[in-house]
Amino acid sequence: MRTLSSAALAVILATAGTAYGQTVEFRIVERQGQTSIPIPFGATATTDGVLNFAIQARVTGGTASQFLGNFSFDIVAAGEADSNGTLTKLLTSNVDGSYAANTAQSSNGTVGRGGLSAIYAYLAGIGQSFNGLINTSGGTFTNTLGNQEIGLIAGSPTGNSLLLLTDTGGSGNPDTYPGSGTAAPIDPTIASTYLGAGGNFVDVYRFKYTLTLASTRVITFNLVNPTAQIASSLLLANGVWGPANPLNVPVTTSGVIFGMPAPGSAFLLSLAGLTATWRRRTH
């Protein structure tokens, strides 16, 4: 398998202009509505000690055709030791690139199926590390002992991963390709459903955290070192379709907090509302 160095990724993400007035917003959501974690763990989806997450993204302040292009981030639960639980990539996409509902929250680490959504799996198809390194170091990412981490995640709607959803006729070009030249408009339905256009949140990554240590504490998941670019159309370059003239944009992120209260304590009441998001802005 070919490998893509972290330095090469940095070039991809840096080779762009800068947009003003648009922002990419990332947030972490618990897919089954869990708001706190009881001790001992319960038997239902909202009390079972398994947190099922989606990282969602959208473009705000942009036009209906401006979509999320290349991006990168790390997922970190600071102070949550490796022995406290297990991080796993969740099934995200069907074979055809569409979203898998995955109501059973099944694990899947196969590139294009789990972790990154299929349309963003181009870089991970070249180097699997870009689908996320779980509690291990690689490239420019250094794992920190004492944290639960998924590092080096990088998405790009490029190549076959893009054509899975935009080339329904199997021509090797997006359905919107006019038949000549190297440019094509983005299908607005694809842009809205899978690429965060029009202010619509889309799942770009899914994972779960299965707790093994049932002790009173607060667990906070945040996105660290986020970067993002947007684009408005598609371009064929070196035989590969991808975002045309991507622009760097500011990023906002929302983390999520979970309380693990002692049985019957007031701690439960005080922390039940802590799933309100923690936000930071990156320029």
Closest CA to 245 of 23, 18, 64: 18
Band (19; pLDDT cuts 50, 70, 90): low
CA distances for 59 relative to 49, 69, 200, 268, angstroms: 32, 10, 7, 35
**pLDDT per residue as tens digits for the range 208-243:** 999 999 999 999 999 999 999 999 999 999 999 999
- Give the whole-angstrom CA distance, residue 248 versus residue 168: 30
Q: Specify the pLDDT at position 69.
A: 98
Q: Mean pLDDT over residues 46-60, rounded?
A: 96
Band (271; pLDDT cuts 50, 70, 90): very low
Q: Is the pLDDT of residue 47 over 80?
A: yes
Cα–chain-centroid distance for residue 112?
13
Rounded-to-10 torsion of CA 235, 238, 239, 244: -10
- Of residues 21 and 124, the one with the higher pLDDT is 124
Q: Is the pLDDT of residue 9 over 90?
A: no
Q: Specify the pLDDT at position 92.
A: 98
Q: Specify the pLDDT at position 202.
A: 98
Q: Is the pLDDT of residue 15 over 60?
A: no
**pLDDT per residue as tens digits for the range 57-114:** 999 997 889 999 999 999 999 999 999 999 999 999 999 999 999 999 999 999 999 9
- The mean of the pLDDT values for the chain is 89
Q: Is the pLDDT of residue 270 over 90?
A: no
Both tokens of residue 88?
């796993």
- Classify 92 in phi/psi space as left (phi over 0), alpha (psi -120 to 50) or beta: alpha
Q: Is the pLDDT of residue 275 over 50?
A: no
Annotate 100-154 with DSSP letters as a single string.
P--TT--B--STTTBSB-GGGBHHHHH-GGGG-EESS-BTTB---TTSEEEEEEE
- Give the whole-angstrom CA distance, residue 45 versus residue 104: 10
Q: Specify the pLDDT at position 16.
A: 53
Q: Is the pLDDT of residue 35 over 90?
A: no
Band (21; pLDDT cuts 50, 70, 90): confident
- Give the whole-angstrom CA distance, residue 48 versus residue 96: 32
